[in-house]
Chains A and B, each alone.
Chain A
Amino acid sequence: MKNVFLLLGRKFVFVLLTAFLLSMVVFFMLRVIPADSLGMMLPPSATEADAQALRVALGMDGTVLHQYKVWLSGALRGDLGNSIFFHQPVTGLLGQALPPTLELACISLLLALLISIPGGVVLYLLDKKKIEFAADFVLVLLLSVPSFLWGIILIVVFGVLFPILPFMGRMEGTPVVDGGTGFLLVDLLVRGQWQAWWDAFSHLLLPALALALAFSPIVIRVLRSSLIETANSQYVNVARLRGVPEWRVLLVHMLKNAALPTLTLIGVQFGFLFGGTLLIEVIFSFPGIGNLMVQAIKNHDLPLIQGVALVFCMMVLCVNFCVDGLYSVLNPRLRSA
């Protein structure tokens, strides 16, 4: 048990160190690449003197190192600066935008698992059969479609041709959740607002599906390969010889072991899934941090870009941290550091 804590402790320190390094890299890179945030804010009649005055007012004068120190001392106190475009604290904007993205990511992951686990098993069962070629072809086709294209296809099919699902925003109406967590599915469920809950859930379906469809094919492939590998392991053959029915062998014995490499892949892919939220949130007008990041980039809003980049980094690190932990839980051999 002490080993587990030590292991977790080491990984936690690693997460903090990576976050710190990333904040430095992003900060310096954003300022090395010449980007004039003021351009968007000044009226046409602005002179250089006006620009300088604004620069001072926004704390953008001084050397890059000095600016970083100011930012870091603020960040350690929980203050990530003010958004140049929105004239609001970055932490406030992030606080509003993070829960929708996390909700979206979780539902996407759920849908992805619902698609890829049965998908991987089905493909394994088709192994060495004639139809496998067709299934493989379809899989490669699915693999080549990026998430934003899925988004547009889903809007056309389920939004316009057969208009059964919504594709704009988080909800039709206004959520009546004072003092909620920001996670609508949780808040509305807890308050027993069923129709509103369904409203919020149906708005999540299409964007989550777009992300899940982009996520699943590679997981299906890896799961299929792992299953094929474990199919001829000794313990599997022993189980078969003992008379255990094939479906039990598959679900109880093989899947658990085949899950391990798949789990690592899911951890890695989840990072890409967060990246996918940028385009998906814009296409579906979903008010998450992906949407916020795109706006920040369009407006050269450096403090906001910095803040969102940091949040993305922390989320990916957290996910990988959890995956590592889960790995140790599933595979006892990894529990000793």
Chain B
Amino acid sequence: MAEVVQHVVDALSLGGIYAALTLGLGLLFSVMRLVNFAYGELIMAGAFAMYLLQDTPLLVLVAGTLAVTIGVALVTERVAFRPLRGVDPMTLLLASFAVSVMLQNGARMVFGPIAKGVAPYPFLEQDLIIGSVRISVLDLTGVVLTAALIGAVAVMLQKTVLGMQIRAAAEDAEMADLLGVKANRVIAAAFAIAGVLAAVATLILIFQQGAVSVTVGFLPVLIAFVAVVVGGLGSLPGAALGGLLIGATTGLLDAALPTDLAPFRDAFLFSIMMALLVIRPQGLVPQKEARV
């Protein structure tokens, strides 16, 4: 029983991280048809901010990480993606791939190729013991934090003027533009929100892993991308659903795979996702014509 609860918390914590990432990616795709591979480098930038700030109080570290990811998100939008607005989605995807390689190698020039350690704050390393169940404070914080953040973003999208404009632009950018929605403002806002989501995912992810390197963001974001596609590219609820699903699947695989197969976890994970795509090429929450 205790073990089951632990696995559930693990899966929820992973699912929360992925849902935050998928929502960020989904948001960017919705407002400007951008499949943003450079999203992983927001995580990388946030992670290096954490590395540099690790001896400061928690509040400074969180603020610094937020500032860096939002900053990098806005700069990439302004410098790389705004000039390319309106080109076909495949060119945008390739451009984001180039931006990703540039940021990664820029960081490699500054920090070197070797992974660096980030020690979590002592209170995060403690375990909460309820009866026979041990839950790490970090995992629990992660679940609560990501759930709160996703909820906040959902409320923001539904209830505020900015959120309504973002949804309108996602639905039909041209129409929204005609009705006076400022594309620059909406897209910059989407990038900023994506930056916040990335920062929270980074904080939890890096404290869990305890190390940062230039490639730290690649795999989580790739997993998140597959989740977005499985959830249904272009649908925000689909994105969040895909994130939760892939977190849960990862947790399940961690629990179910025998030790000698454990290193192959990602291969299993991606195979399952590809199998899902065979069954539903348009994703779980289909948005547009996605198959031929």
Binding partners A and B? no
Residues of A near any B CB (own CB < 8 A): none
Residues of B near any A CB (own CB < 8 A): none
